[in-house]
């Protein structure tokens, strides 16, 4: 399956205090309607597609986005989990990237549920283990994250904010300092 992509306008109800200068804000109401852009695309459940997803994320966010590095790490972990645990080979993995006000980003990855895994959940991996850290990393650096049932599969969503990105980059420097060269 080749990667497919579409752009969607997503109607969102926004409190008036955030939408005062927005052209769709209604004058007398408490809430305004605003449209957010979302990049929506699907890739094949193949480990090589993780790099494709990272490139698409960078293109969607732009080169100077404050959360680009952190969002790239989160999308890599979520798509890898979907490919390895949530899908049969060749199944579609759906990705949605939403840019929110104040440089926040919501990443949503949906699998088909036909893989060998069960419900995505946090677990502690042993120090010698080579896997089992994906959702732990996501939970550590995302403002919020959730897992919901989506048909036969699961939808994992993570909210990345600039503060999370700053903390993640600081943690990276601390971790690198701990290892001798």
pLDDT along the chain (181 residues), means of 10: 49 48 46 65 92 93 88 93 90 91 90 82 67 81 90 92 65 41 39
Provide the pLDDT for residue 79. 94
3-class secondary structure per residue, the chain: CCCEEEEEEEEEEEEHHHCCCCCCCCCCCCEEEEEEEEEEEEEECCCCHHHHHHHHHHHHHCCCCCCHHHHHHHHHHHHHHHHHHHCCCCCEEEEEEEEECCCEEEEEEECCCCCCCCCCCCCCCCCCCCCCCHHHHHHHHCCEEEEEEECCEEEEEEEECHHHHHHHHHHHHHHHHCCCC
In the chain, what are the domain boundaries? 37-177
Provide the pLDDT for residue 167. 58
Provide the pLDDT for residue 133. 76
Provide the pLDDT for residue 46. 92
Whether this prediction's pTM lies above 0.75 is answered by no
Q: Which CATH class is domain 37-177?
A: alpha beta
Provide the pLDDT for residue 125. 66
């Amino acid at each position: 399956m080749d990667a497919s992509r579409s752009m969607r306008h997503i109607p969102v109800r926004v409190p008036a205090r955030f939408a005062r200068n927005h052209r769709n804000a209604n004058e007398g109401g408490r809430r305004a309607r605003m449209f957010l852009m979302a990049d929506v695309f699907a890739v094949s459940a193949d480990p090589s597609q993780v790099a494709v997803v990272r490139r698409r994320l960078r293109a969607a966010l732009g080169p100077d986005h404050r959360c680009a590095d952190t969002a790239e790490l989160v999308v890599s972990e979520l798509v890898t989990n979907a490919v390895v645990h949530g899908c049969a080979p060749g199944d579609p993995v759906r990705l949605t990237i939403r840019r929110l006000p104040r440089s926040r980003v919501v990443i949503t990855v949906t699998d088909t549920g036909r893989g060998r895994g069960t419900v995505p959940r946090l677990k502690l991996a042993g120090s010698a283990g080579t896997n089992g850290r994906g959702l732990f990393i996501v939970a550590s650096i995302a403002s919020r994250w959730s897992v919901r049932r989506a048909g036969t599969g699961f939808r994992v969503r993570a909210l990345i904010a600039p503060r999370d990105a700053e903390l993640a980059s600081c943690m990276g420097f601390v971790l690198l300092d701990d290892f001798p060269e």
